[in-house]
């Protein structure tokens, strides 16, 4: 009886142990199916983010600069503007730059290529093979981009924005590498360990939303800085304009002072000239008056002498007519004196002698007529 019971209980135990095993298998299959679905969902999200990163990359690259509009003067600055953010291969980029610069003196295709390699570098911000030609490869997945080594060759007002765009490309590149690593290892046998390491890297690499937020914040700060700089420039310009106005006013004031001083000096010179002229005129008038008086005196003297000479001539004629007349001793005496005076040439003495003789004659010869006297 006991043996039969043992035999009957053995199959019951076996069936009881088989039921949990079936449940575990079902649970494992369910987990496996869920894991596959979850992996597909995660892979789709990663691929979607990869596509969004590639799209966002186009927003922060490919901006072409025009050297003519930016007033680039040197060959290096022109080449720097033309290669910045270009995705072309080295050969195509060199050919394009040479066509724009070939009319300049001393520019050859080889010199342009040398300058391109010295001034710029070509970097991949996507996924590229290890043995790819970094200068000539043009695959879309590599996201090739030329960048100027020295930002000082580029215009000053563009340097900050270009630097921010470079930062965005670096963050995009880092995130793309993480996502591509996840997608490449999702079906591998050691996916679990690789995924753990990639998750650690993913923690360091920012996702697209975080990258956008950082870049927008940088652009905002850059705009604020530019606004502050513009405000400062406006204030500086206003101060400079005010200083120029003050300087202009001071210049006008100095000019007016010089003009007034010139007018004053001119007036002083004119007053002195007038004073000298008045003195000269006064002196001239005095000289003329003295000359006039002297002339009048000389004329009066000449008239007096002429009158005396006339009287002498009259007396001479008178005595010639009366030469035969009987004149007294006093008359002879007077005549001798008159003749002597005439011989000496003293006209005044002759006139006095003649006058005396005439007086004597008139006194003694009362019978002389007026006609005889006129003769």
The answer to whether position 29 is within a domain reads: no
- Burial-class residue 233 by CB neighbours within 10 Å (0-12, 13-18, 19+): exposed
Domain identity same for 330 and 192? no
The answer to whether position 181 is within a domain reads: yes
Residue with tokens 């009158």, as numbered in its chain: 307
The answer to whether position 240 is within a domain reads: no
Q: What is the pLDDT of residue 91?
A: 94
Cα 264 off chain centre by = 38
Q: Is the pLDDT of residue 203 over 60?
A: no
Number of domains in the chain: 2
**For residue 112, what are the contacts with CB-CB under 8 A and spacing of at least 6?**
79, 94, 97, 98, 101
Domain identity same for 181 and 55? yes
Q: Is the pLDDT of residue 332 over 70?
A: no
The answer to whether position 16 is within a domain reads: no
Q: How far apart are CA 319 and CA 337, in angstroms?
A: 13
- Burial-class residue 198 by CB neighbours within 10 Å (0-12, 13-18, 19+): buried
Domain identity same for 326 and 198? no
Domain identity same for 345 and 196? no
Q: Residue 88 — very low, low, confident or very high, per pLDDT cuts 50/70/90?
A: very high
The answer, as to whether pTM is greater than 0.75, is no
* 109 φψ region: left (φ > 0), alpha (ψ -120 to 50), beta (else): alpha
Domain identity same for 66 and 202? yes
Question: Mean pLDDT, to the nearest integer, of 220-233?
Answer: 85
> What is the residue range of 107's domain?
47-206
Q: Is the pLDDT of residue 191 over 50?
A: no
Domain identity same for 202 and 327? no
Domain identity same for 329 and 201? no
Domain identity same for 53 and 192? yes
Per residue in 351-367, pLDDT (tens digit) is 566 566 656 655 554 44
Q: Is the pLDDT of residue 174 over 70?
A: yes
Domain identity same for 200 and 330? no
Domain boundary among 206, 228, 258: 206
Contact at 8 Å (CB) between 335 and 327? yes
The answer to whether position 354 is within a domain reads: yes
Q: Where are the alpha helices (DSSP H) in 140-207?
A: 156-185, 191-204
Per residue in 286-331, pLDDT (tens digit) is 998 989 898 898 999 998 888 888 888 888 888 887 776 655 555 5
Q: Residue 202 — very low, low, confident or very high, per pLDDT cuts 50/70/90?
A: very low
Q: What is the pLDDT of residue 46?
A: 85
- E runs forming strands in the chain: 120-124, 144-148
The answer to whether position 216 is within a domain reads: no
Question: Mean pLDDT, to the nearest integer, of 190-194?
Answer: 46
Domain boundary among 161, 191, 206: 206
Query: By mean pLDDT, which of 66-70, 123-127, 184-188 is the weakest?
Result: 184-188
The answer to whether position 55 is within a domain reads: yes
Averaged confidence pLDDT in the chain: 78
Question: Mean pLDDT, to the nearest integer, of 76-100?
Answer: 93
State phi, psi for 147 to the nearest 5 degrees: -135, 145
Domain boundary among 183, 206, 229: 206
Q: How far apart are CA 145 and CA 90, in angstroms?
A: 11
The answer to whether position 217 is within a domain reads: no
Question: Mean pLDDT, to the nearest integer, of 368-373?
Answer: 50
Q: Is the pLDDT of residue 198 over 70?
A: no
């Amino acid at each position: 009886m006991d043996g039969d019971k043992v035999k009957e209980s053995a199959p019951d135990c076996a069936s009881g142990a088989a039921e949990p095993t079936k449940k575990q298998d079902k649970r494992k299959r369910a987990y496996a199916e869920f894991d596959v679905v979850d992996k597909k969902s995660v892979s789709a999200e990663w691929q979607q983010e990869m596509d969004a990163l590639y799209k966002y990359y186009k927003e922060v690259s490919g901006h072409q600069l025009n050297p003519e509009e930016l007033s680039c003067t040197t060959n290096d600055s022109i080449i720097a503007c033309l290669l910045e953010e270009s995705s072309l291969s080295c050969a195509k980029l060199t050919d394009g730059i040479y066509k724009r610069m070939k009319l300049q003196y001393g520019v050859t295709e080889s010199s342009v290529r040398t300058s391109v390699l010295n001034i710029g570098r070509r970097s991949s911000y996507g996924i590229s093979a290890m043995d790819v030609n970094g200068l000539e490869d043009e695959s879309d997945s590599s996201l090739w981009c030329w960048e100027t080594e020295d930002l000082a060759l580029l215009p000053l007002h563009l340097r900050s924005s270009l630097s921010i765009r470079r930062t965005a490309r670096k963050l995009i590149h880092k995130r793309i590498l993480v996502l591509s690593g996840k997608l490449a290892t999702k079906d591998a046998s050691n996916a679990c360990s690789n995924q753990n390491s990639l998750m650690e890297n993913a923690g360091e690499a920012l996702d697209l939303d975080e990258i956008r937020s950082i870049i927008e914040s940088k652009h905002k700060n850059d705009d604020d800085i530019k606004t502050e700089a513009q405000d400062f420039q406006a204030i500086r310009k206003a101060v400079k304009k005010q200083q120029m106005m003050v300087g202009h006013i001071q210049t006008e004031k100095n000019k007016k002072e010089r003009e007034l001083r010139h007018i004053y000096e001119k007036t002083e010179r004119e007053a002195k000239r007038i004073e000298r002229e008045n003195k000269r005129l006064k002196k001239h008038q005095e000289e003329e008056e003295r000359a006039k008086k002297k002339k009048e005196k000389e004329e009066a003297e000449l008239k007096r002498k002429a009158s005396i000479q006339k009287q002498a001539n009259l007396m001479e004629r008178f005595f010639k007519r009366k030469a035969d007349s009987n004149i007294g001793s006093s008359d002879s005496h007077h005549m001798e004196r008159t003749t002597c005076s005439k011989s000496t040439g003293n006209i005044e003495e002759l006139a006095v002698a003649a006058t005396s003789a005439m007086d004597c004659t008139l006194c003694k010869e009362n019978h002389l007529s007026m006609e005889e006297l006129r003769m």
